[in-house]
Amino acid sequence: MRLEPRLIAPLALLAALLLAGCATEFTPPSVVEDLRVLAIVADPPELRLTPAAGTNTVTVLRATAVAPPASPGGPPRTPAPADVAWSFCPYSIGAATGYACAIPACESALAPAADGSVTLDPLLEVMKPACQAALAGLGGGSPGGPAAGGSVETLVRYVATLDGLRREAVQRIPVWFGTPPATAPNLNPVIGAVTAGADCAGSAPPCSVASVSLDVAIDPASFQPYPAGTDRTVEETIVVSFFTTAGRFKYEYGSTTVTAQSTGTELEAKELGGATEALVWVVARDLRGGEAVQGPLTVVFSR
């Protein structure tokens, strides 16, 4: 097919614009440029409301929300207690609606403790008069409620503001009624250690490095079996995400299993904007609601 001469110039311009757009580099999600909610850790991440001994009916939640330091070498900034709000919803409509509460009258505020954590007792929240009245209007049932002996996925919402920015995150918490799975309740992964390579060891200052290696070890006891269907169990895979205030990660996340027990990446001295060090956080997730966070770790690029 031959192109008419009058079409060649517009097509060439369009191609140039598309190539320029493809060349544009966006800031990776692993770089903390402003307020970010890195993790919400629920301890424990799963509740079993059964009469059996040793079951958990209450969980404690903590959020890691950070922003870059106000000045080089300073600590990360965090929202003030007055700029943080927690709430609980027993039945969420789902991700398509931003996890809106299926029964608005059952969404209740959670009061933080002095250390910023909140304690959740789902049964106590559901028994509040406004929620009970709403449930009675539904004939005692509720959208998304548990089947006999099953579970329901409840929701905790966290909202924080800083520097005029508003950030929202949710943590889904499975609550089992009746007979729970035969496997042990889910627990959070445990980050054993995060180590940075001594890239400048033995060098006279100033020493500049192209990258700093990071290694994350996961406690082997963190890898739990869980049901996969009705007739088998599988071992967890733990995914590790990396976050930094400066530089660029070679790999923004990694995964590990009980046989490997560790993963890592390199923090490269790119797009530093004059920074000579970075604050780094590591978040481990078991993909079933369990989370752990460690940081900030200070990584020095030059000295």
- Answer whether residue 203 shows pLDDT above 90: no
* Domain annotation for the chain: domains and CATH numbers: 28-180 (2.60.40), 184-303 (2.60.40.10)
- Answer whether residue 201 shows pLDDT above 90: no
What does DSSP assign to residue 60?
Answer: E
For residues 188 and 292, the answer to whether their CB atoms sit within 8 Å is: yes
- Token pair for 258: 């009980």
Q: SS3 for 16? A: helix
Round to whole Å and give the CA distance between 94 and 131: 19
Average pLDDT estimate for 204-211: 63
Average pLDDT estimate for 121-130: 92
Average pLDDT estimate for 82-103: 92
Lowest mean pLDDT of 85-94, 149-158, 212-221, 283-292, name the range.
149-158
Q: What is the pTM of this model?
A: 0.85
| pLDDT (tens digit per residue) in 156-194 | 999 999 999 999 999 999 998 877 788 889 999 999 989
Q: Residue 145: is it exposed, middle or buried by C-beta count within 10 angstroms (0-12/13-18/19+)?
A: middle
Lowest mean pLDDT of 59-68, 266-275, 277-286, name the range.
266-275
Strand partners, 168: 159
In the numeric block, the tokens 């000579």 are attached to 276
| pLDDT (tens digit per residue) in 212-259 | 889 999 999 999 999 887 788 899 999 999 999 999 999 999 999 999
Lowest mean pLDDT of 10-24, 74-88, 189-203, name the range.
10-24
Q: Supply angle C-alpha 82, 84, 90, rounded to 5.
A: 135
Question: To the nearest whole number, what is the mean pLDDT of the chain?
Answer: 86
Position 1 scores a pLDDT of 44
Average pLDDT estimate for 31-49: 96
Position 53 scores a pLDDT of 54
| pLDDT (tens digit per residue) in 141-159 | 555 555 445 788 999 999 9
